[in-house]
């Protein structure tokens, strides 16, 4: 692993040296122009990659922010006589302001509709460049900003562009490899899981989109200076499609792939010679080939974690799997104890007469339950009896139609999901929602992120506090994985895990949130008898740390074995509640669920 990283660093250093020294060894200035254009395009794509590749937000109108930056810089320099050095940040601010203005209402829309909003925005900007001719010059255009001194020379301007491209790449890479980057991937791959981890979904989307707008504006200003003269024809939908497709071709969730995609698409018209007019055809052909043969993008060919783990897709024997994930019980309590909630006067989690309808269907009908700390409250019932709906109501995924939810003695009925998670709730899901493109340890680190992770802008410039935070989260995540017997999988991609491993990983991630209560939705689903026994031992250890568990499960024998209290639902109503042996003997429970 270290040798592989060293080779990447050496290759990167050699590439940087070649790029920086290009003016002194390039055969002619034409290639200087081409590489300058690639660097400008990469500035906008480095930010767009955070939006499309990491957050999963479809923006096909970034050319509008690109044009905003170009015209803002040109107008400020030409009309107001401002220095290009001042016009450059002003262009970024103008584009960023528009990005924030558009994203605040629009990011609440579904992906396709948001993409249409960005497309409409880019069309409006293009029309305005024609319409406000007193400022923009209309179809005639405007001269671009012109730098003076050394940076006004071809070599000087090239070095300025390369430096800015490298600086912005470093900032975006820092964001992507720290907690905000992992949070963005969580939003992209499972917004439900992201909300259960207290990730501020809308806030992060707006921040990322605004930041990408700033980079697009700066890139536009540099483009205007590079071209020396700009007209509306330079900012068409075709260019926006170029930005978007280069990220798709490169592959999401990394920076090497989109950079290669940007370089390839920018070079394609140059190397195709007389066929340059068919460049759009070649773009489409290249995209089709990537989708057919490398569906995860060019970067997937360099993902060593995926290649190394693919041999584990054959399910191991149950006894071998049990040896792999068998938890060290003493270690588990040790890992939990620093952040485990201390015992308080019960009840801490209380659901009082919950009522929920979907149309004319009553899903939950005045159901009540209490979960004291350090107890396991089992919930059983036939399919469709309202068990998972109650979990969703408790965490705030659904609004209540009646009743109340109390946590820590306070009414949380009107509180958001994030507020409930911060107050001490965590969640596992009926189908494990692990984040496949993250490693096992990165999934667990997401759980620690709310308390230990640094913010978006702090992570962009990773000073000591950010590095210390990352080291602490990694260390604590590894300790938790060791407690679950999964430390040897820490650097493995989560999408290569077996189903049972995903189950235990999700529990580990929930514990990393240092919760007071865990809502578990069928954690034994799909597990073998041996794995269910391991799960039972884990739940017992969690209970010892004074964490309450609300356990929804169809394995009734397992529920009766580990639970302190059992609630049985039927058609959304509580038909029995009490000690396991009492509920198990209840005739109504036998008739509705257990059978005679």
Given a cut of 70, whether residue 273 has pLDDT beyond it is: no
- Please state, in angstroms and rounded to a whole number, the distance separating the CA atoms of residues 596 and 579: 19
Which residue is listed with tokens 């978007």?
A: 244
Instruction: Say yes or no: 387 and 469 in one domain.
Output: no
User: 158-174, pLDDT tens digit by residue?
Assistant: 999 999 999 999 999 99
- Please state, in angstroms and rounded to a whole number, the distance separating the CA atoms of residues 78 and 590: 83
pLDDT, residue 387, reads 92
- Please state, in angstroms and rounded to a whole number, the distance separating the CA atoms of residues 377 and 355: 20
Instruction: Say yes or no: 365 and 294 in one domain.
Output: no
Helices vs. strands in the chain: H and E counts, helices first: 27, 12
* DSSP state letters, 462-522: --HHHHHHHHHHHHHHHHHHHHTT-GGGTTSBGGGS-HHHHHHHHHHHHHHT--SEEEEES
Q: Which of 95-109, 310-324, 436-450, 564-578 is predicted least confidently?
A: 310-324
User: 514-531, pLDDT tens digit by residue?
Assistant: 999 999 999 998 888 888
453: nearest Cα among 467, 437, 438:
467
Mean pLDDT of 131-142: 89
**Number of folded domains in the chain?**
4
- Please state, in angstroms and rounded to a whole number, the distance separating the CA atoms of residues 476 and 482: 10
pLDDT, residue 594, reads 73
User: The tokens of 270 are what?
Assistant: 């140059």
Question: Could you tell me the pTM of the whole model?
Answer: 0.88
Instruction: Say yes or no: 249 and 102 in one domain.
Output: no
Secondary structure element (H or E) that encloses residue 517, with its range: strand 517-521
Instruction: Say yes or no: 532 and 465 in one domain.
Output: no
- Please state, in angstroms and rounded to a whole number, the distance separating the CA atoms of residues 380 and 390: 12
Q: What CATH number does residue 533 fall under?
A: 3.40.50.300
Q: What is residue 337's DSSP assignment?
A: T
Cα 510–chain centre separation: 17
User: The tokens of 129 are what?
Assistant: 């460049």
Domain holding 231, by residue range, is 43-235
pLDDT, residue 275, reads 60
* DSSP state letters, 345-373: SSPSEEEEEEEEEETTEEEEEEEEEEE-T
Q: What is residue 259's DSSP assignment?
A: H
Instruction: Say yes or no: 116 and 52 in one domain.
Output: yes
Binning pLDDT at 50, 70 and 90, where does residue 302 land?
low
192 within some domain: yes
Q: Are 374 and 328 in contact (CB under 8 A)?
A: no
Binning pLDDT at 50, 70 and 90, where does residue 297 land?
confident
CA-based torsion, 225, 231, 232, 234: positive or negative: negative
337 within some domain: yes
Binning pLDDT at 50, 70 and 90, where does residue 325 land?
very low
546 within some domain: yes
- Please state, in angstroms and rounded to a whole number, the distance separating the CA atoms of residues 494 and 501: 9
User: 80-91, pLDDT tens digit by residue?
Assistant: 889 999 999 999
Instruction: Say yes or no: 391 and 454 in one domain.
Output: no
Instruction: Say yes or no: 48 and 157 in one domain.
Output: yes
Mean pLDDT of 296-302: 72
Strand partners, 549: 376, 518
What's the mean per-residue pLDDT of the chain?
Answer: 86
Instruction: Say yes or no: 260 and 372 in one domain.
Output: no
Given a cut of 80, whether residue 300 has pLDDT beyond it is: no
Q: Pick the last residue of a domain from 255, 283, 301.
A: 301
Instruction: Say yes or no: 229 and 295 in one domain.
Output: no
294 within some domain: yes
User: 252-263, pLDDT tens digit by residue?
Assistant: 778 888 898 888
Share of the chain above pLDDT 70, in %: 88
Instruction: Say yes or no: 429 and 477 in one domain.
Output: no
Q: What is residue 233's DSSP assignment?
A: G
Binning pLDDT at 50, 70 and 90, where does residue 454 land?
confident
468 within some domain: yes
User: The tokens of 297 are what?
Assistant: 């993008």
Which three-class secondary structure state does DSSP give residue 307? helix
User: The tokens of 291 are what?
Assistant: 């989708």
Q: What is residue 494's DSSP assignment?
A: G
Strands 376-380 and 361-371: unpaired
The CA R_g of the chain, rounded to the nearest whole Å, is: 28
Q: 217 or 588: whose pLDDT is higher?
A: 217
169 within some domain: yes
Q: Pick the last residue of a domain from 492, 524, 558.
A: 492
pLDDT, residue 545, reads 86
Cis check: omega of the bond before 347, within 30 degrees of 0: yes
22 within some domain: no
User: 550-562, pLDDT tens digit by residue?
Assistant: 999 988 899 999 9
User: The tokens of 590 are what?
Assistant: 């036998």
- Please state, in angstroms and rounded to a whole number, the distance separating the CA atoms of residues 391 and 386: 9
User: The tokens of 275 are what?
Assistant: 């066929």
Binning pLDDT at 50, 70 and 90, where does residue 537 land?
confident
Q: Pick the last residue of a domain from 219, 235, 251.
A: 235
162: nearest Cα among 321, 59, 17:
17
Q: 318 or 181: whose pLDDT is higher?
A: 181
- Please state, in angstroms and rounded to a whole number, the distance separating the CA atoms of residues 569 and 425: 22
User: Cα–Cα–Cα angle for 12, 18, 21, nearest 5°?
Assistant: 135
246 within some domain: yes
Instruction: Say yes or no: 223 and 178 in one domain.
Output: yes
Instruction: Say yes or no: 520 and 587 in one domain.
Output: yes
Given a cut of 90, whether residue 323 has pLDDT beyond it is: no
- Please state, in angstroms and rounded to a whole number, the distance separating the CA atoms of residues 479 and 483: 6
User: 479-504, pLDDT tens digit by residue?
Assistant: 888 888 888 888 998 988 888 899 99
Which three-class secondary structure state does DSSP give residue 323? helix
């Amino acid at each position: 692993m270290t040798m592989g990283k060293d080779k990447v660093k050496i290759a990167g250093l050699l590439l940087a040296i070649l790029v920086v020294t290009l003016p002194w060894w390039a055969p002619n200035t034409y290639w200087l122009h081409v590489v300058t254009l690639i660097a400008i395009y990469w500035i906008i794509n480095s930010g767009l990659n955070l939006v499309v590749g990491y957050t999963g937000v479809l923006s096909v109108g970034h050319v509008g922010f690109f044009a905003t930056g170009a015209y803002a810089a040109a107008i400020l320099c030409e009309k107001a006589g401002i220095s290009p050095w001042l016009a450059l940040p002003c262009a970024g601010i103008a584009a960023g302001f528009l990005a924030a203005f558009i994203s605040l209402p629009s990011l609440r829309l579904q992906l396709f509709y948001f993409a249409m909003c960005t497309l409409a925005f880019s069309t409006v900007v293009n029309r305005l460049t024609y319409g406000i001719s007193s400022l923009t010059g209309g179809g005639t255009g405007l001269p671009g900003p012109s730098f003076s001194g050394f940076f006004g020379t071809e070599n000087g301007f090239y070095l300025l562009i390369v430096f800015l491209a490298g600086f912005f790449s470093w900032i975006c890479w820092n964001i992507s490899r720290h907690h905000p980057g992992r949070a963005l991937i969580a939003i992209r791959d499972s917004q439900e899981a992201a909300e259960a981890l207290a990730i501020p979904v809308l806030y992060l989307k707006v921040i990322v989109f605004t930041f990408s707008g700033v980079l697009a504006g700066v890139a536009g200003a540099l483009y205007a200076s590079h071209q020396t003269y700009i007209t509306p024809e330079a900012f068409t939908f075709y260019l926006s499609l170029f930005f978007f497709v280069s990220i798709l071709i490169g592959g999401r969730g990394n920076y090497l792939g989109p950079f290669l995609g940007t370089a390839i698409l920018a070079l394609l018209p140059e190397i195709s010679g007389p066929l340059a007019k068919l460049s759009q055809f070649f773009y489409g052909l290249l995209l089709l080939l990537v989708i057919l043969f490398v569906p995860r993008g060019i970067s997937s060919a360099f993902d060593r974690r995926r290649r190394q783990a693919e041999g584990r897709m054959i399910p191991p024997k149950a006894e071998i799997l049990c040896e792999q994930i068998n938890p060290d019980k003493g270690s588990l309590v040790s890992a939990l104890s620093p952040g485990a909630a201390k015992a308080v006067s019960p009840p801490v989690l209380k659901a009082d007469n919950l009522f929920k309808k979907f149309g004319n269907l009553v899903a939950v009908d005045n159901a009540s339950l209490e979960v004291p700390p350090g107890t396991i409250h089992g919930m059983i019932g036939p399919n469709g009896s309202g068990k998972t709906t109650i979990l969703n109501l408790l965490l705030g995924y659904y609004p209540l139609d009646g009743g109340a939810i109390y946590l820590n003695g306070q009414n949380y009925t009107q509180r958001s999901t994030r507020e409930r998670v911060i107050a001490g709730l965590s969640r596992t899901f009926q189908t494990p929602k692990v984040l496949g493109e993250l490693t096992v340890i990165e999934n667990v680190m997401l759980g620690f992120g709310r308390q230990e992770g640094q913010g978006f802008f702090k992570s962009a410039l990773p000073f000591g506090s950010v590095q210390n935070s990352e080291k602490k989260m990694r260390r604590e995540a590894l300790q938790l994985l060791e407690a679950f017997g999964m430390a040897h999988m820490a650097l493995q991609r989560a999408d290569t895990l077996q189903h049972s491993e995903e189950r235990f990983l999700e529990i580990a991630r929930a514990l990393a949130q240092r919760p007071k209560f865990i809502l578990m939705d069928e954690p034994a689903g799909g597990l073998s008898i041996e794995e269910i026994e391991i799960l039972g031992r884990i739940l017992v250890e969690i209970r010892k740390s004074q964490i309450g568990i609300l356990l929804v499960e169809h394995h009734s024998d397992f529920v009766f074995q580990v639970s302190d209290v059992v609630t049985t639902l039927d058609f959304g109503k509580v038909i029995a509640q009490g000690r396991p042996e009492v509920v198990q003997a209840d005739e109504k429970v036998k008739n509705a669920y257990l059978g005679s």
